[in-house]
Amino acid sequence: MFSRQSHIWPLQSSLTKSDRSASSVFFSDTNLLSTAVKIGHNIISCSIRGEEMGSWGALIMGFFGAFFASMTLYAQCQSNGLILMIPFIGFGIIGLLAAYVIRQPGEGIVPSERASKAIRWSSIGEGIGLFLASNIVINLHHPEFLMPAMALVVGLHFLPIAYAAPFSPFYALGGALILFGLIGFIVAAPLGGAISGFASAGGLWIASALALRRDIHFKRGNRPIMSASV
């Protein structure tokens, strides 16, 4: 069993009792583990259905980028209340852009069989890795390592995709996330966790933008003749 001190992430002493109660309900260790399970399940489900590329993949990565940023604001920057919703504005923008791309005529990104397998297994590994990483650091009573561990997992998952797609920007993105994850383990909390958490969020948002850009490029190149001439 966790002690009360390890079970709830530390908050600023200036928080009111009601703020502390409301925040701890969502960010308790138990809920973090539950959320990690849901993240892993969603990533694995979407990868099996082949939705990790293009606009649908951008939506998935955009949401989890917002979630990681919000969790970092709370756990590392000790923010609370409506400020935790600010990252989801970014997700909303990504959602609007994805809706626009999805509605465009033409065929979007169709990965090769090799790339599809790499995406599927990398995404499954990412889902399992995020669950294991959160489980391990919380049960070892080191929640300050949660965001660095997640940054490592997300970064590693991009490398096989970059190789199989092939898509060289994912090498740079994956390498940067791994680097920021390692920095998070070295630099003292809360700065280390903040660097890793915001880097993970930024990396996922960059990946979303790249996915949308590639999808619209493919659709414009594969439009039907009648549609393209309008």
Q: Evaluate if pTM is beyond 0.85.
A: no
46, 44, 61: which is closest to 203 by C-alpha? 61
> Torsion angle, CA of 146/207/49/223, rounded to 10 degrees?
170
**Interaxial angle between packed helices 17-27 and 29-48, expressed in degrees from 0 to 180 and rounded to the nearest 10:** 40
Burial 3-37 (b: 16+ CB within 10 A, else e): eeebebbebeeebeeeeeeebbeebbbeebeebbe
Distance from C-alpha of 150 to C-alpha of 142, rounded to nearest angstrom = 13
Cβ atoms within 10 Å of 51's Cβ, excluding its own: 16
Q: Is residue 138 part of a domain?
A: yes
* DSSP-derived 3-state class of residue 8: strand
CA-nearest of 143, 131, 192 to 5 is 143
Query: How many domains, in total, are found in the chain?
Result: 1
The answer to the question of residue 81 being in a domain is yes
CA dist 39 and 135 (Å) reads 13
Ordered mean pLDDT values, 10 residues apiece, the chain (230 residues)? 38 40 45 52 47 74 90 87 92 93 80 83 88 90 90 92 86 92 92 91 90 85 49
In whole angstroms, what is the distance from residue 211 CA to residue 126 CA?
A: 18
Alpha-carbon torsion angle 148, 150, 156, 157, nearest 10 = -160
Rounded to whole angstroms, the Cα distance separating 211 from 208 reads 5
Does residue 170 sit within a domain? yes
Tell whether 1 is covered by a domain.
no
Where in the sequence is the domain holding 88, given as residue range(s)?
16-229
Residue 34: the pLDDT is: 54
Is 6 a domain residue? no
pLDDT attached to residue 11: 36
Domain-located, residue 130: yes
- Residue 224 is predicted with a pLDDT of 55
CA–CA separation, 159 vs 129, rounded Å? 15
